[in-house]
Amino acid sequence: MKTLIRWLEQHQVACSWKHYFGIECPGCGMQTAFIELLKGNLAESLRVFPALLPMIAMILFTFLHLVFNFPKGALIIKILFIFTTSILVTGYIIKIITH
């Protein structure tokens, strides 16, 4: 696991939005948050990119729904999407205001 984490840290992709416009994009911090999550630093992961855990949950549930076709799966995916997007937008607004 340490080798994977080290590799991910060395191969992070730079944000072109930040490069061209000078401000962070809504997805900035996702890579770092994922690496922190792999390290077991949940609090730091949530601080850097609060939408990561709901996003992971939404993606996992979507794959499970595609395999098992849950009766209300599409509705749950919509709710997870709205929840994740709300956290992402709120986190981005807070990030822009505080930086």
pTM: 0.89
Distance, CA of 93 to CA of 90 (rounded, Å)? 5
- Alpha helix (H) ranges present in 1-72? 2-10, 16-21, 30-39, 42-48, 52-68
Question: Mean of the pLDDT values across residues 14-28?
Answer: 91
Furthest C-alpha separation in the chain: 45
Which pLDDT tens digit goes with each residue over 28-54? Answer: 999 999 999 999 999 999 999 999 999
Distance, CA of 80 to CA of 96 (rounded, Å)? 24
**pLDDT confidence bin for 99, thresholds 50/70/90:** confident
Distance, CA of 65 to CA of 78 (rounded, Å)? 12
